[in-house]
Amino acid sequence: MLRATSELEFSNEKNTEEISQLASLVLSGDTSTGEKNSTGLPEKTGYPDSVYIMAANIFQGIRFEKSPEKVLIKYGNEPLRSLPESEDESFQRSSYELAFSALKFQDILEAILIDSCIFPSTTIPDHLSSLIIVMLYDFQDRKFQARFLSDNEEPIAEVQEVENLLNSFKIKLAAALARCRIKHDALSIYHILPETVRNQELRASTLPLYAWINTCKISPEEVYYSLKKRGYNKVKSVLHIDDKVFAVDQHCYDVLIFPSHLKNNLLNIDLFKDYKLIFQDKSRSLAVHSVKALLNMDDDILMVNTGSWYTVAHMSILTNNNTSKIFVCGVKSQAKDPDLKNLFTKMGCKNIEILHEAFLNIESKDHRLQKVKVILLLPRCSGLGVSNPVEFILNEHEDTGLLKDFSQGGTSEDKLHILVQQQYEQLTHAMKFTKAQAVVYCTCSVYPEENEGVVKKALEFQDHGIKVQPYRLSPPVLPLCSLKEIHLSTDKFFRMEPSEITNGCFLSVLTRERDPSEAVSVKDVLARAAAKGLLDGIELGKASKREKKKKKSKIPLSKAHTNDSNDIQRKIAEFLNRESNANANRSETLATKTSLPQKNTTTAGSSSHVRKPNKPTSNPLVPTFMKNTAQPRPYERQTNFVRSRPEDRVMALKPVEIVLPPVMLPFSGSQGIKSQIPTQHFYYRWVGPKTVMPNYFPSPSISRRGEKPRENLPSSLLRHPRPWL
């Protein structure tokens, strides 16, 4: 029992006014027992006895210890007895919130107890000191008003004794609190907290709620319709809206956003009771959606340090249509397996397998993990990007010692170094799994040492000795919805800074470099899909009409072109031989003309090489010597014109100059006619047409002095061996 050395006697009527005046000076800014009270009790009317006991045990484990010369209040090492109902989630949340609030104000609460003469004027067992601290915080937060007691609640003796002690000292406690406020020149003890802590709590009070849709149970359209029936309207943004509204997240199509003040109302509707909508921080949804974007149909997943089981369930829901299996490692106690299986069954998850080994103890060649292609790593971190640390601790099953860092607004250098080393070891171990092709690394930290520092170090010192492709940093696989996100992701990291709409998040995707020797053809992909039954009704053995046409067009053109070219060149050579014999009789006539350089046409004609031009392609059946002729040659004429077919390629012709012999008319015996014939011989040349033919490219005509333009001759005249006769 607690025994006070000095008794305070006063009448209730006399001191009611004094208590009210002193209490009016206490303007508590903490709302942890107000709107966030998840026990369903009226606001600021106190907690059940079991919550105080559990909060005292939590505070005992996370409190700040002082040096022996500065210790004024001693804390025992024995935990208080807790009831079985303390395992309830709502009791746990209330207990953690109360313990965390007491931790933030530990120095102030201890000073109030000493200033009010409770310490050391009373004989208090050391193991009750933690209970006194947490109950004093709640007492001042209620402005020293009486606590509401439920008839169905079983009282706990230790709680009743501490409550009676605080009630007997409530005037002195209120006065000590007022003096503390005046000393720090603060409107309330809330304003005595560091600025970082105050900003964090301000964000936590307005941060929207995020909930993902369990598509195994209900479709998004059905969720929208159900919410609309209950008076919830769909909007683009829920910020600064007090009505019943919701919005769809821009990064994750299956995540809905609600205003923070609607949480109690939402928890009472069937969508949340039946696991059709699940509250969870957005950072975890971003992580699982990043993994989903990297998966094939039959790829397995290894999840490390998953924290909340809802993260595992969300990953399972997203891969429900695949043949993927999800391995979850790090579950230490097998006693939780039945509860986890029951939870997953209620949520409709079927592809989850739990591994009880620690991740660092699992070998990379484990036979169970040979099909694992993506590893999701959610390492323990400082979590200072989170606004509500209690939700983070409970949902992610993190160490309660992180609450001490949250209460100070930062992490000590020694502790941060330990966390970074653990993260580096886990990431490098994940990169040793030879079958894995990608690693997704996600934290809720704002420290670069835990984020890009760990990733860059792991990439720099990765083991290149194993016979696999090394990892490289890949761009985010999530959509970037604003200029700020694009700016923050310029170095291929996805970042979200803590703000009024979301917690902080860091996400990195590491993928193996592509092995050029393992290139997969289209036929291999179709064969694999057909083997899995994904191409039912589609025959892969029969070639399409287009493929048949391609095969016909792929007949060895070189042989065909060579044979055709040989025949043409042989005919050309014969024709030139005949012409050379006929031209020998006219050597005197040709002497009057300027000699022109000639090449060996037989050699040119016998060549079977077909040149591939870089410009518009020509018909391969056209003789080679005709294409390469640059100077006019006597007695040459265009022969064997090949008219191009509509489907053939368009050919550009070059102008060819043909020199004809002098005109010899058979009227030598008539003097009258002779007088009309000039003595000068005329040489006529046929020049390529200036007009553009329908099937040919335009070519520049050759204009020389002394040439007489003529119209195009018919093809029959050109083919005649001696057209002037």
The catalytic residue positions are: 444
DSSP 85: G
CB 172 within 8 A of CB 117: yes
Q: How far is CA 365 from CA 6, 179, 283, 468, in A?
A: 72, 66, 30, 13
| Cα distance between residue 715 and residue 686, in whole Å | 12
Token digits for 68? Answer: 């022996």
Length, in residues, of the chain = 725
DSSP 607: -
DSSP 651: B
CB 159 within 8 A of CB 54: no
The amino acid present at 36, given as its one-letter code, is: K
Going by C-alpha positions, the residue among 94, 109, 108 that lies closest to residue 33 is 94
Residue with tokens 């929207």, as numbered in its chain: 208
Going by C-alpha positions, the residue among 629, 612, 628, 631 that lies closest to residue 620 is 612
CB 666 within 8 A of CB 640: no
Quickly list H helices, 489-540.
522-531
- Residue 76 exposure: Cα atoms within 13 Å on the Cβ side: 14
Token digits for 426? Answer: 């886990």
Going by C-alpha positions, the residue among 60, 52, 32, 61 that lies closest to residue 44 is 32
Residue with tokens 């947490």, as numbered in its chain: 134
Token digits for 504? Answer: 């902080």
Instruction: Strands of 475-566 (E only): list them.
Output: 494-496, 505-512
221-233 b/e (C-beta count within 10 Å ≥ 16 → b): eebbebbeeeebe
Q: Give the DSSP letter string of 86-153.
A: GGSHHHHHHHHHHHHHHHHTHHHHHHHHHHTT-TTTEE--GGGHHHHHHHHHHHHHTTTPPPP--TTP
Strands 372-377 and 438-443: parallel
| Cα distance between residue 137 and residue 30, in whole Å | 10
| Cα distance between residue 80 and residue 61, in whole Å | 12
Which residues on adjacent β-strands are paired with residue 327? 302, 353
